Amino acid sequence: MPKIVFLNEGKRAHVAAGRTVLDVALELGVAIGHVCGGGGTCSTCRVACVLNPENLSPIQPNEIAYELGENVRLGCQARIEGDVGVRVVPIPRAILV
């Protein structure tokens, strides 16, 4: 089972391959935005994959549209396929209201 570590909160878990980063973050109580509920349309669930970004599923077209930057993914679209380390990207409050 792959391991994911949320480096900014020191939380970690072994998870079934194929789960999304957002699902696991919410299960662990990691503070992460998810305004659209995981639909891939709000971009508030951004995570920077700082360890083994190649172990996340391929980038989806809607992620490309957001121009997220190198190794930044939407947590609701990125599926865990191997060990990874991520940091939640803080979203400015202005975007959330």
CB count within 10 Å of CB 58 equals 10
| Closest approach of ligand FES to the CB of residue 26, in Å | 10
One-letter identity of residue 32: I
| Closest approach of ligand FES to the CB of residue 29, in Å | 16
Which positions touch ligand FES (CB under 6 A)? 22, 34-36, 38-45, 74-76
Residue nearer to ligand FES on the CB measure, 39 or 90:
39
Tokens, residue 61: 């077209």
Residue nearer to ligand FES on the CB measure, 15 or 74:
74
CA angle at residue 44 from 36 to 5, to 5 degrees?
A: 115
Picking from 47, 46, 15, 42, the residue whose alpha carbon sits closest to that of residue 28 is 15
Residue nearer to ligand FES on the CB measure, 23 or 81:
23
| Closest approach of ligand FES to the CB of residue 87, in Å | 16
